[in-house]
């Protein structure tokens, strides 16, 4: 599975942004996809995850209901809708995939096998 995150940019506090994770390889639609982020000088942390069907999701407590993860398997794409952005959301955002048929939306980095390059989100006034 190959992944590519996109959609990052510079926004102001309170703005919204939608990230996309495009996947290639036949296993993408049967894989749990997770979003992680890494701020400068910080550990990479879990943000959200979605199971292959889209029927199950998991979010980090720090997101506080502001982000929504969804997927369109026909387009081999997973989305992360981010609303009410805060300066502390500034980070490089990565998407990652678990091996196919491991259908648990884990929050652990070690559970994810495939990683793509990240996209930078900067929230600043």
Q: Over the stretch 22-78, which tens digit does the pLDDT of each residue have? A: 998 768 888 999 999 999 999 999 999 999 988 999 999 989 899 999 999 999 999
Q: Quote the CA–CA distance of 121 and 89 in Å, as a whole number.
A: 8
CA 119/CA 125 separation, integer angstroms: 19
């Amino acid at each position: 599975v190959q992944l590519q995150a996109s959609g990052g940019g510079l926004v102001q506090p309170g703005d919204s942004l939608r990230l996309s994770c495009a996947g290639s390889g036949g296993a993408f639609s049967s894989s749990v996809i997770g979003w992680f982020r890494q701020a400068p000088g910080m550990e990479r942390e879990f943000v959200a995850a979605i199971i292959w069907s889209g029927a199950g999701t998991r979010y980090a407590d720090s997101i506080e209901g502001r982000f929504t993860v969804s997927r369109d398997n026909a387009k081999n794409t997973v989305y992360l809708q981010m609303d009410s952005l805060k300066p502390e959301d500034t980070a490089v955002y990565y998407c990652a995939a678990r091996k196919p048929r491991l259908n648990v939306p884990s929050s652990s980095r070690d559970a994810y096998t495939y990683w793509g390059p990240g996209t930078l989100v900067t929230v600043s006034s």
